[in-house]
Amino acid sequence: MSLVANTGKLAGRTLFITGASRGIGKAIALKAAKDGANVVVAAKTAEPHPKLPGTIYTAAEEIEALGGKALPCIVDVRDEKQIQKAIDEAVKKFNGIDILVNNASAISLTGTAETDMKRYDLMHNINTRGTFLASKLCLPLLKESNHAHILNLSPPLNMNPYWFSLHVAYTMAKYGMSMCVLGMSEEFRQFNIGVNALWPKTAIATAAIEMLTGDTSSSRKPEIVSDAAYVMLSKDPKSYTGKFEIDEDVVKSVGINDLTPYACDPSNLNNLLPDFFLDIPGQQTQEVKKSEPSGQIPELFSVINKTITPELVKKTQAVFQFNVKGKEEGIWHLDLKNGDGACGQGEPKHAPDATLTMDSSNFADMFAGKLKPTTAFMMGKLKIKGDMQKAMKLEKMMKSLKAKV
C-alpha cells in the first residue's frame, strides 16, 4: 500500500531500473508509472521462474495498466552488451534516460570458509560491478537530462566490524554499491546528476527474505521503499546528492508518521526484523546476563524431545548443532532428518546442516518464542555456520513449541 501521494513530478521521465521484474525494483517502477513515467524493465527473467513470480513482460503489463509506458529488456547486469542494447532501445523508444535505479543484487549470507568463489563472483559481479557498469553506460544520457538521478539500493557505509564478520563477501559486494554513491555523487556533481543510496530500516517482503526465512510476518511491504524512492527521485538533483537515506526516515520527512499500513502483519508492528548494516541500541555488545536458574537447557530439550514427530522430521529434514556459551555452556543437538528424529546433549551422530552458537539465556529465549532465530541472527546474538535456509527452518518449529515451553 502506497501512502505517499503521486505529484506528477516523474511524468514523461524515463527510468532504467535493474532487477525490475519483481520485488522492490518492480514496486519503484509501478510508483513511477502512476505519474505517467516511462520505465525500462531491465532484468533477467524472461521466462516464468518455478519458484519466483513475475517476468519482465508481466511487470511491463502492470506498468502500462497504471498509465506508464514500459520497455521490457532482457538484461543480465554482468553483460556489458546487454546493458548497452537496452540503453540503445530506450533511446530509440523514449529519446533518452533521466533516472537509473541500481536495484539488481545477489545475496549469500555465508562466512569466509562457506562462500564458494562462484557465489563470491556472482555477488561482486552483480552488486558492485553491475552497479558501476550500468552507471558508466547511462552517464552520457544522464548528462543530457535536466532531471538526472542515480539511485542505488545499498546501505550506509557502516564500518562496524560486526557487519563484516558475519558475511564478509556479501558486505563487500553491497558496500561496493555504496562506494559508487560516495564517489560518483562528487564526480557527477558538475553535471547536475544526483547520486544517492536508499536502504530499508526493516526486512522487506521480497523473494530473498522469503527464501531466507520462509516468513514475511516480521517484514514490511516493498511499497515503503518505493514511496521513499519516489520522494528522493522527485527532488532537485542539483542540490540533492551524496545522501544515504533510510526508507522510514524519508517517508516520515513528507509527513507519513503512521507506518502501520506498510507492515505485512500489522499485529507484529513492534517486532519487525531490523535490516542488515544498521546498528540498533543494545546490538553487538556483550550484555551482562542476569543469573539464570540452573538446568534450564536440559529442561528445554526434555520438552523438545516430546514434540518430535515423524511429520516434523519429514518437514524439516535438517540436523542442528547448538554450541551454547555462558552459564550453561555445552554442546546440544537436534536431529530432524534421520529416523524418527533425536535430540540431546553432545554432538549429533550425523553431520550437522547448521551449527548455531549463542549464549544460554538467548537460547532459552529462542526456544520460549521470545526471540526469533532470524532476529537473533540479525542482532548478533546468534551465529550460524552452514546452511542458512535450514537454520531458519527452526523459526517455524519454534511456533509449535511456544505453547509447550
Burial class from Cβ neighbours inside 10 Å (0-12, 13-18, 19+) for residue 118 reads exposed
Name the DSSP letter for residue 375: H
Q: Give me the catalytic one of 57, 120, 170, 240.
A: 170
240 catalytic per annotation = no
Question: Scanning the structure block, which residue is given the C-alpha cell 548455531?
Answer: 356
3-state secondary structure of 117: helix
The catalytic residues are: 170
